[in-house]
Amino acid sequence: MILQLDPASTIPLYRQIRDQIRQLISTGGLSVGERLPPSRELAQRLGVHRTTVANAYADLTADGWIAGHVGRGTYVAQGVQPPKPVAPPARFSATLENGYLWTTLFADAPAEDPLDFLMGDMAGAADRRVISFTTARPAEELFPVEDFRRATSEVLRREGRTLLQLGPSDGYPPLKEFLRQELGRDAIPATDRELLITNGCQQALDLVRKVFLRPGDVALLENPVYPGAIQTFASGGVKCLGVPVTDKGLNVDVLESLLAQQRVRLLLVTPNFHNPTGTTLSLEARKRVLELAGRHQVPVVEDNIYGALRLRGRELPSLKALDTAGLVVHLNSFSKVCFAGLRVGWLVASEPVIERLRIAKQATDLHTDQLAQAALAEFGRRGFLGRMVKKARALYRARLERLEAALAAHFPEEVTWVRPEGGMSVWVTLPPGLDAGVLLYKARESHVVFTPGRFFYFQAVQPNTLRLSYPGVSEKQIDQGIEILGTLLKSELRQRRSEPVGRRRARVALV
C-alpha cells in the first residue's frame, strides 16, 4: 500500500491517509479482506505520529470501509457498503465520472466533517452489539407512537387538504400559538410576528448567519461548540473566534476582552447544558453577557435546544427572558425533547429581525413541513408532549446518575468530567498526552463508540477530551461500555508509566 502525504496541504494528514485508503479500496487497489498495516507500522513508514494513523483508521471504521478484529488486526471490510460515494482527494488524483473531472469543479477542498461522523452513527445504530455514546438524541423507547398517530390522524381528518398545500413561510398558525403559550410559561413574551418556524436548529443557525453576517465579519462562538455551528458560520466566510468554555460555562472575562478588541458582529451562546461540555451559565454570568452585548451592540444568539431537559438543580431564566434591549435571538427545537426526525424548530426575536429571517428562509424553502407542524401542535395541545418530556427527564436523570457512578467506579483517578445539571452528554477530560481518537480506535474493537472532543473545537484543539451521550444507552450498556473504556484507559496509563521519560515527553509533544 503506497500513500503520498503533502505536509504543505491545508488538508490534515490523517484525512489524507483516510481518503487515499478509501480511494484504494473503491478502485480495487485494496481487496475485500486484505489486511492493513498496524497503525504503528504505517506511522513509522509515513513519518507521522501513530495518533495520525489511528484517527484515519477510526474514521474509515466508522464509515464501514475497514473493520478491526481483536488480536488479528485491521482488514478491508467484507460485505459492508460505504454509506455514500466519496470523491477522491483533489490533491492526489482526479477520476473521470460520466465524462467529468468532478474534483476540479468543486469550489474548494472538502473540509473536516464532524457532522458526517456524528450522523454516521445512525447507520451503525442497527448493530445491537455496539454500545454507542455518540449521538445526543432522544431515547426511542420514550416515543409514544400511538399518541402521535392519533394526533396526526386528527389533523389530517380535520384539515388534510389544507395541510397538503403550500403554507405560510413563518409557520403553521396553531403551532405558533401553542409555542407562544409555552414561551410565556418561560417568561418569554412573543407576538405572532416575533416567532418563525424553521426546519430545525441547523436551518435557524444558517438563517441567522445569512441575515447578520457577511464574509470576513467576526462572530464569537464557544470553543468547543456544536459542530453544526462551526460549519454553518465558516461556510459563509465568517471569521470565527473562540471563547473558551470552562467548567462554569462560557468564560465571560475572555468574552469581555474579545468584545473590546474586535469589531464583533454576532455572539452565539448556549447557556443551558452546553453541547458538548454540559455546563450551565450562572444567573450572574447571564446578566453580564447581556450587559456586555448591550454595551457593544452585539446581537446574541441563544441556543436553548436542551433547555427543557433540566435534570437537577434550580431553573434559571433564559437569556431571552432576561433581555430588555431586544438583542437576543432565541432558537429552539423539538429535536431533543421529542422527535428528532420531524425537523421542526423555531426562532424568537424582535419583529424586524424575524421579518428579515422570514425573507431569508423563503430563499431556501417556502415553508416547513405543514403536516409535521400540525401534528406537533395537536400532540402538544392534547398534553402528550408535556407527559413525554416528564418521562424523558426521569429516564435521563437515572441514566446520567448511572453513567456518573460507572465513571467513578471504572475510570482512572486522573480522568475528570463535568457534572451536568441537564442535557444529554457528559464531557470527559483524559490526562495530558492521551488522545481520545486513539482510545476510540481501540474501543471500537470491543464494540464501544463515543465522540472524540476534537470534533467540537475550531481553535486550540484538546485531543484528550471526549463526549459521552447517554439518553439512548440502557443502564446495563452504560455499565458495560464504561467498564471497557476504563480498562483501556488504565492499560494505556500503565504503558505510559513504563515508558522512558524522554520517549514519553516526545510522544506528548507529537500529540
Tens-digit pLDDT string for the chain (511 aa): 778 887 766 677 888 898 889 888 877 778 888 888 988 888 888 888 887 888 888 888 877 788 877 667 888 886 544 444 444 444 444 444 555 556 556 665 555 555 555 555 554 455 678 999 998 999 999 999 999 999 999 999 999 999 999 999 999 999 999 999 999 999 999 999 999 999 999 999 999 999 999 999 999 999 999 999 998 998 888 999 999 999 999 999 999 999 999 999 999 999 999 999 999 999 999 999 999 999 999 999 999 999 999 999 999 999 999 999 999 999 999 999 999 889 999 999 999 999 999 999 999 888 899 999 999 999 999 999 999 999 999 999 999 999 999 999 999 999 999 999 999 999 999 999 899 988 998 899 899 999 999 999 989 889 999 999 999 999 999 999 999 999 999 999 998 887 665 545 444 433 3
Instruction: Return the DSSP state at 453.
Output: G
Which residues of the chain form CATH 3.90.1150.10? Answer: 131-142+388-510
What is the model's pLDDT at position 41? Answer: 87
Class of domain 145-385: alpha beta
% pLDDT > 90, the chain: 66
The CA distance from 338 to 332, in Å, is 12
What is the model's pLDDT at position 45? Answer: 84
Q: Rg of the chain over CA atoms, in angstroms? A: 24
- Do residues 353 and 329 make contact, with C-beta atoms less than 8 angstroms apart? yes
Which residues of the chain form CATH 1.10.10.10? Answer: 13-110
What is the model's pLDDT at position 88? Answer: 43
- Three-state DSSP state, 391: helix
**477-491 pLDDT, tens per residue?**
999 999 999 999 999
With respect to CATH, is domain 131-142+388-510 assigned 3.90.1150.10? Answer: yes
The CA distance from 228 to 4, in Å, is 31
Which numeric CATH code is attached to 13-110? 1.10.10.10
- Three-state DSSP state, 297: coil
What is the model's pLDDT at position 235? Answer: 82
What is the model's pLDDT at position 214? Answer: 94
- Give alpha helix (H) positions in 363-411: 370-381, 384-410
Supply the mean pLDDT for the chain. 87
The CA distance from 197 to 172, in Å, is 8
- pTM comes to 0.79
Q: Is 447 left (phi over 0), alpha (psi -120 to 50) or beta?
A: left
Question: Is the link from the previous residue into 168 a cis peptide, with omega within 30 of 0?
Answer: no
Contact partners, residue 110, CB within 8 Å, separation at least 6: 11, 87, 89
Q: What is the DSSP string of 75-143?
A: EEPSSPPPSS--PPPTTT---EETTEEGGGTSSSPPPP-HHHHHHHHHHHTT-TT-EE-------GGG-
Contact partners, residue 25, CB within 8 Å, separation at least 6: 65, 66, 76
Contact partners, residue 57, CB within 8 Å, separation at least 6: 36, 39, 66, 68, 74, 441
C-alpha cell belonging to residue 295: 454595551
